[in-house]
Structure 1
Amino acid sequence: MRILVVEDDPDLSRQLKQMLKEQGYAVDVATDGVEGHFLGDTEPYDGVILDLGLPQIDGVSILQKWRADERKMPVLILTARDQWSEKVAGFDAGADDYLTKPFHTEELMARLRALLRRAAGHTTDVIEIGDLVVDNRAARAFVNGMGIKLTSHEFRLLAYMATHKGRVISRTEMVEHIYDQDFDRDSNTIEVFIGRLRKKIGTDRIETVRGLGYRLVDPDAPQTS
């Protein structure tokens, strides 16, 4: 999962980036409204944490532009403003949730996970595909109840595939959603990660759909025609 943080406070933006990375997310940071709008308008983020009081372009204006351009990623507004009129303006602009500074990091992460779950059509942070379990809250995966040791990129890829289980996902889409902007994004490395995951979770859980991409499945589920 790839998250955009638009926050002009350097200490807070660093804190959020570190916290999100520790939870297994790929993270990009923008420190002003112009950069934030550009990234959100041109990159395929799974979610956005957006401050309202930004230099150059304020958060409400950014959000209005994104929604006008049919950018549908879930957006959590994070701001020091606590007046009800500011909250209404944020929701009317297209925000999905709202958190006022100062905040507890556990609450921010819980709200973000909830937004990502709803956007993907899930009701909990734990996704089960047969006896494979992916816990997005703990950033861990299990097979037959046994924990699997995964690198951060392996977990990101597995979590993204689990979130979209049963759907064919192209290598390009995987690259766009598991790497941050500064990473040397080479789609050929996806094959390496797929190979590693197959060794760790079982070769029959990830199907190759020739010419299209990969699909995470339950190999023991009844096959449909």
Structure 2
Amino acid sequence: MQLLLAEDELDLARAIEVILTKQGYLVDVVHDGEDAYQYAQLSQYDGIILDIMMPKLSGIEVLTKLRATGSQVPILLLTAKSAVDDRIEGLDAGADDYLTKPFNMGELLARVRAMTRRKAVFVVDVITFGDISLDKQLRQLSTRDSDVKLANKEFQILEILMENPRRIFSAEQLLEKIWGLDSDVETNSIWVHISNLRKKLQGLHSNVKIIATRGAGYSLEEHHD
């Protein structure tokens, strides 16, 4: 499952990221409300953890904007405030749950499990485009006649492209979304994984291709020869 964590306290954000990653979650981390909203618009997350007090946009503002677009992604609010009115404001704005700082990491994990279980009731973990299907649980790419397992980074790249077909993503955007804002991984790593994905799509005899647009980036397109 893929989560978005928006927390401006860097040490706390890192601690939460480590705990969630050890539990098998894929975690994107941002440190202000504007980035949180942009990331939430770009990907279909299984859950979002939002700190209320953030620069640029507050967690409540991000939550309100997302719900206004029709987004139903489960959202857990983190707040240093314990006043009842603050909790009511968050829930009225569309939050699924809240957790008051300081909190126990075990409780955070329990809250995350609870909100993602609620989403799993109605969310299908298979996405399709053209003649291919991607099983998020198995990390398996399939056509009608064959299938292939994907490595972790290959899966994350293809998931982004399949959830946003025909949309161009630069190598820098993919790198930031998958490895994080502070990663020192080079952009040629994206090219290597794209190359591997192209070979797997070709091996499946799919009519879906990853197209490189010079100076812009990569997009997923359906081609009929």
Interval containing the TM-score (normalised by the shorter chain): 0.5 to 0.7
Matched, 1:178 2:182: no
- What corresponds to 1:99 in structure 2? 97
Residue matched to 1:127: 127
1:28-55 CA distance string (max 9 Å, x none): 38xxxxxx44xx4457533640256xxx
Shift of 1:143: 1.9
Partner AA of 1:209 in structure 2: T
Cα 1:142–1:90, aligned 2, differ >3 Å: closer, same or farther?
Answer: same
Do the aligned residues in 1 keep the contact of 2:168 with 2:219 (CA within 8 Å)? Answer: yes
Distance, in Å, in 2 between the alignment partners of 1:166 and 1:152 is 22
Identify if the C-alpha distance between structure 1 residues 13 and 155 changes in structure 2 by more than 3 Å, giving closer, same or farther: closer
Q: What do residues 152-194 of structure 1 show as CA deviations (whole Å, max 9, x unaligned)?
A: 1111101000110122222232222222234224222221111
Backbone CA RMSD of aligned residues: 4.3
Alignment: residue pair count = 194
Instruction: Provide the residue aligned with 1:32 in structure 2.
Output: none
The equivalences for 1:44-123 within 5 A come to 44-46=38-40, 48-51=48-51, 57=53, 62-64=58-60, 76-78=75-77, 85-91=85-91, 96-100=94-98, 102=107, 103=110, 105-110=112-117
| One-letter amino acid of the counterpart of residue 63, structure 1 | G
Q: Which residue of 2 aligns with 1:213?
A: 217
Query: Given residue 140 of structure 2, which amino acid in structure 1 is its aligned partner?
Result: A
Segments of 5+ residues of structure 1 without an aligned counterpart are: 30-35, 118-122
| In 2, Cα distance between equivalents of 1:26 and 1:16 | 7
Q: Does 1:150 align with 2:155?
A: no
Q: Deviations over 1:76-107 (max 9, x none)?
A: 12459999744431145x5x532256535543
Q: TM-score, normalised by structure 2?
A: 0.62
Aligned partners of 2:114 and 2:221: how far apart in 1? 32
Which structure has the higher relative contact order (CA within 8 Å, separation 6+)?
1
Instruction: Return the alpha-carbon distance in structure 1 between the equivalents of residues 222 and 142 of structure 2.
Output: 12
Is it true that 1:28 corresponds to 2:12 in the alignment?
no
Cα distance change of structure 1 residues 185 and 49 upon mapping to structure 2, 3 Å threshold: same
Scaled by the length of structure 1, the TM-score of the pair is: 0.62
Greater shift, 126-135 or 73-82, is seen at 73-82
Identical aligned residues as a percent:
23
SS of the equivalent of 1:205 reads strand
**What is the SS of the residue equivalent to 2:199?**
helix
Aligned CA distance change for structure 1 residues 140 and 206 (closer, same or farther; 3 Å):
same
Q: Determine if contact 1:128/1:134 at 8 Å carries over to the other structure.
A: yes
* Structure 2: runs of 5+ lacking an equivalent: 100-106
| Paired residue secondary structure (1:17) | helix
In 2: Cα distance, 1:219 partner to 1:110 partner? 37
